[in-house]
Amino acid sequence: MSDKPCPFCSLPASRVVDENDHAFWIRDGFPVSPGHSLIIPRRHVASFFAITFEERESLFQLLDQAKLVADAEFEPDGYNVGINDGATAGQTVPPLHIHLIPRYQGDQADPRGGVRWVIPDKADYWIRPPPWALPDA
Ligand SMILES: [Zn+2]
């Protein structure tokens, strides 16, 4: 992982909403929607694929908890759950963190595709006819 100071280790304790054996969660400092939360393992690890089974359990317990808290507080209509795993995938903060992004009816004119929009040219597959539907060249 990079040598940059870890932004999660320098958080004031008041930012931590709750924690368990291997993880904690916070509200995102730059929320993309009300209730946007981050679930973070205690151990410094860059990739979701490098964590232990116990860490996954801890992370998913807090993911569920953060969802219930957001439900109660904001009553969203849906959620995106996402991990940017690697710089190529958009990870800008090196330690692994899971985004829980509440979604609200009307927050996007057309929300179809959700996380597919990480590659905008390929996101809206439903507007392109499948190859088997194209006329023969
Ligand atoms: Zn840290």
Report residue 134's pLDDT band, with 50, 70 and 90 as the boundaries. Answer: confident
Has residue 2 been placed in a domain?
A: no
* Residue 116 alpha carbon to ligand 1 centre in Å: 29
- Based on the structure, what is the number of domains in the chain? 1
Q: Say yes or no to pLDDT of 1 above 70.
A: no
Side-chain-side CA neighbours of 70 within 13 Å: the count stands at 28
- Residue 33, phi then psi, degrees to nearest 5: -155, 160
pLDDT averaged over the chain?
Answer: 93
Has residue 119 been placed in a domain?
A: yes
Which CATH number is 100's domain given?
A: 3.30.428.10
Has residue 8 been placed in a domain?
A: no
Has residue 4 been placed in a domain?
A: no
Q: Who contacts 113 (Cβ-Cβ below 8 Å, separation ≥6)? A: 123, 124, 125
- Write out the residue range of the structural domain in which residue 40 sits: 13-133
Q: Say yes or no to pLDDT of 74 above 90.
A: yes
* Residue 45 alpha carbon to ligand 1 centre in Å: 9
Has residue 1 been placed in a domain?
A: no
Has residue 19 been placed in a domain?
A: yes
CB-based contact 122:103 (threshold 8 Å): no
Q: Which candidate in 22, 36, 97, 99 is catalytic?
A: 97
- Known active-site residue 36: no
* Residue 9 alpha carbon to ligand 1 centre in Å: 4
Has residue 102 been placed in a domain?
A: yes
Average pLDDT over residues 9-27: 96
Q: Who contacts 75 (Cβ-Cβ below 8 Å, separation ≥6)? A: none
Average pLDDT over residues 88-95: 94
* Residue 96 alpha carbon to ligand 1 centre in Å: 10
More confident residue, 136 or 57: 57
Distance, CA of 42 to chain centre: 17
DSSP-based three-state secondary structure for 7:
coil
pTM of the model: 0.89
Has residue 6 been placed in a domain?
A: no
- Residue 38, phi then psi, degrees to nearest 5: -125, 130
